[in-house]
Chains A and B, each alone.
Chain A
Amino acid sequence: MAVRITGLGIISAIGLTVAENLFSLENSRSGIAPVKYLDSKNDFLVGEVKCSNAELLGYLNIKSQPVSRTSLLGLAAAREAWGRNRHTPELRTGFISATSVGGMDTTERFYKDYLDQNNPDYAVLRCHDSGNTTERIAAELGITGYINTLSTACSSGANAIMLGARLIEQGKLDRVLVGGTDALTNFTINGFRSLMIYDDQWCRPFDESRTGLNLGEGAAFLLLESDKSARISGNPTICCLSGWANAADAYHQTASSPEGTGATMAIQNAIEVSGLSALDISYVNAHGTGTKNNDLSESTAMINVFGDNIPDFSSTKPFTGHTLAAAGAIEAVFSALAIQKGLIFPNLNFNTPIAETGLVPITELQKDQPVVAVLSNSFGFGGNNSSLVFSVNR
């Protein structure tokens, strides 16, 4: 199976556009830094988009308020991915976004005022629900009809991409803009701290010394088109989305199984759907959050699937932070760039392999690589595991 990817858009801690993100990846420039834009008492390390809400409103020329930061980030990326495409009655166009927090960035400010009895602005609650976050973006792009939101924690973005591909495969849509967006919030920072998996240092995925993740924020969208749609739009194909799968770990509410059961199933099934073999995978953009549990479980899953032939792999979360529902979409854009530019991105901050598995990620940028297929993993709470396979357009 294969669906064409013809548009990319991204906003993250390492840049406001695809070009800026690529530049940061090529030059090992991380976006992780102490909190600056979020209203927080602490100076935790986070991957913030380097823009205040006021700057985003100006940059995007948005007048109507209230609007959540989650919607603003999503709109920035969705507009870039949509580009100069036009609406036409010939093409049924859909929009699928993923978010885990929705408008929580505005809701938590409201709720603080509410608890303090400090004249809370109830109007902002209109942008709380995740569906509204998505509708705001769709409305700006003029998309009507199939508009949907997925929320499966940290695998959400990958699931939105997968759903879009399935809708095209079964002829329900001709093209669909898919991705995810999440703003940084005190809700999630405090949540991951309460789980004791928030690293006060810079995160170190796949390193023996890893102790947790750094949260980030951002959004990314991809335009998926059927053959017919690409013919009508005339858009060149960047690469193809050829495999996808989701599986449940059914092990624990937050932790991944030590055997990597769900992760192994997701990776295996995604490769099977793509029609490729495990040996065809040139690069794995790992979920690699930097928590003890995820990285061990994911390493085990990679060994389960690839055996002694582990492809080049890295986690790009030391660049962007863990952007939750946006992560799968941001890393899908990175995967597409890896194929388009022949690059393999480095796993920053790696020194010592995990004792149990001994796997060593790529630590320096690799250029001029024949990257023909990329596997991207996204694993979430509730044992929600998704994998996507991207491949060159043949």
Chain B
Amino acid sequence: MYINAASTISHQPTFRNAGFSELIEPLDNSSELISPNYKEYIDAGLLRRMSKILRMSVAAAKDCLTQAETAQPGAIIVGTGLGCLQDTEKFLNTFLSIEGLLPPTSFIQSTHNTIAGQISLSIGNHGYNMTHTQNTLSFEHALIDTSLLLGEGKDNIITGAADEFIAFLDEAAEHLNASSKHHLTSGASFFILGKNKTEKSVARVKDVRTAGLIQDIDAAIDSFLLDNFLNISEVDLVLYSDFSEKEKMDSVAHQYFNEHYHADSKLINYTKLSGLYPTNSAFAMHYAVDRIQREPKLKNVLILNGLNKINLGLTLIESLEA
């Protein structure tokens, strides 16, 4: 499938900023979400109720439609690890502390599919509308669904992923001893994916695979590359994520590519760039696309999502020249 538009709102200057991959540095702990003026993208009547995750997602999705010069996508597919946390927390607070009638808005907007629903509502789209929520693999599952849909004859699909930070997450992570060296952040990345190469195409998603409750990471990478007829030396760039020092995805990626196979693939930990949220592999995909557009040498970029040690996501992005 071909990537015909890409848009990201994150803690980095990614939004409407082609070439951002050359500019950005790893995030420090003081970083904040960089929000566009949402009024330029979202009708005021809808915007007034929207939480952060909804604003980011609808604006990024609409930006994609503008880039691709598409009025209506064939479908809307969203991945989200934790969904609409801001409204979920708000409604928990509401019903646990108020006696009497309860305001319904935060409940309505607490469901995971509010994101895809609000995108359809804001553009009047009647197509297939789906929400995948398999924690760190939610975006990869959205991509797999997209490839099925392209196989069924649909085209120009808005596919993306979003997660939002709320202050409570820091507290929870601390108590669960899950504090990471990475800073917890918010982000939304959306794409338009099409079956055929068009003049808008910037790169291609060659293949995507998920392995839940994985036993053997090396074997999974082996078979993924084999199935794509790719020698390890042909992988020019590996974008990987790890959870914490303890989980060792860092060394998994290095061992596999550098030590085991002596490939000179360049390795980048994308969580350092995006910050930590369950669907940050979608950020990595936009980053890969941006790099590919600027560096003709880059033919194959592998996204190795090991954010959760029990799950592995593999996405192969190919330049149009490859």
Contact = CB atoms under 8 A, between A and B. Distances in A.
Q: Check A-B contact in the complex, CB < 8 A.
A: yes
Nearest to A99: B133
B129 interface: yes
Given A194-B107, A253-B121, A144 B113 contact: no
Given A163-B145, A193-B102, A248-B129, 14 more contacts: A100-B112, A122-B176, A131-B133, A145-B212, A149-B134, A150-B133, A159-B130, A163-B148, A172-B148, A187-B95, A194-B107, A250-B124, A382-B121, A384-B113
Interface string A248-259: 111111100000
Nearest to B136: A131
Interface string B102-118: 11100111111110111
Given A111-B92, A146-B210, A190-B95, A382 B176 contact: no
B212 A253 contact: no
Contact of A153 (B113, B126, B152, B210): B113
Interface in B279-319: 310
Contacts of A130: 83, 112, 133-134
A250 B118 CA distance: 8
Interface string A146-157: 111111110000
A191 B110 contact: yes
A159 B128 CA distance: 10
A272 to B, nearest CB: 12
A62 to B, nearest CB: 17
Contact of A166 (B132, B152, B210): B152
A348 B91 CA distance: 33
A127 B128 CA distance: 29
B126 A146 contact: no
B48 interface: no
A112 interface: yes
A382 B148 contact: no
A181 interface: no
B118 to A, nearest CB: 7
A150 B176 contact: no
Contacts of A146: 210, 212
A383 B95 contact: no
Given A250-B124, A381-B111, A152 B131 contact: yes
A149 B112 CA distance: 11
B244 to A, nearest CB: 15
Nearest to B169: A125
Contacts of A129: 81-82, 133, 135, 278
A285 B212 CA distance: 34
Contacts of B148: 163, 166-167, 170, 172
Most A Cβ at <10 Å: residue of B102, B110, B124, B129: B129
Contact of B111 (A132, A153, A163, A249): A153
A108 interface: yes
Interface of B: 76, 81-83, 91-97, 101-104, 107-114, 116-118, 120-121, 123-138, 141, 144-145, 148, 151-152, 172, 175-176, 210-215, 278, 310
B107 A190 contact: yes
Contacts of B110: 187, 191
26 contacts: A125-B176, A134-B134, A135-B212, A144-B211, A144-B212, A144-B214, A144-B215, A145-B211, A147-B213, A148-B134, A150-B132, A151-B83, A163-B130, A163-B148, A190-B91, A193-B102, A194-B95, A246-B130, A248-B128, A250-B120, A250-B123, A253-B117, A262-B126, A380-B113, A382-B116, A383-B121
Contacts of B103: 194
B134 A194 contact: no
Interface of B is mostly: mixed
B130 A382 contact: no
A186 interface: yes
> Which 6 A-B pairs rank lowest in CB-CB distance, beginning with the nearest?
A382-B117, A147-B212, A191-B107, A131-B135, A122-B175, A194-B104
A375 B125 CA distance: 24
A18 B126 CA distance: 36
A138 B111 contact: no
Nearest to A171: B151
A87 interface: no
Nearest to A195: B104
A355 interface: no
A126 B152 CA distance: 37
A139 interface: yes
A261 interface: yes
Contacts of A138: 212-213
A148 B108 contact: no
A302 interface: no
A112 B306 CA distance: 33
Contacts of A126: 176
Most A Cβ at <10 Å: residue of B108, B130, B210: B130
Contacts of B137: 131, 148
Contacts of A132: 135
A131 B81 contact: yes
Contacts of A279: none
A152 B107 contact: no
A115 interface: yes
A63 to B, nearest CB: 18
B129 A382 contact: yes
B170 to A, nearest CB: 12
B130 A152 contact: yes
Contacts of B111: 100, 151, 153, 381-382
A114 to B, nearest CB: 9
Nearest to A100: B111
Contacts of A148: 132, 134, 137, 141, 210, 212
A150 B117 CA distance: 14
A122 to B, nearest CB: 4
B213 A149 contact: no
Given A145-B211, A153-B113, A249-B126, A115 B93 contact: yes
Contacts of A250: 120-121, 123-126
A186 B97 CA distance: 13
Given A108-B92, A125-B176, A131-B133, A151 B112 contact: yes
A289 B66 CA distance: 39
Given A149-B132, A249-B126, A383-B121, A195 B175 contact: no
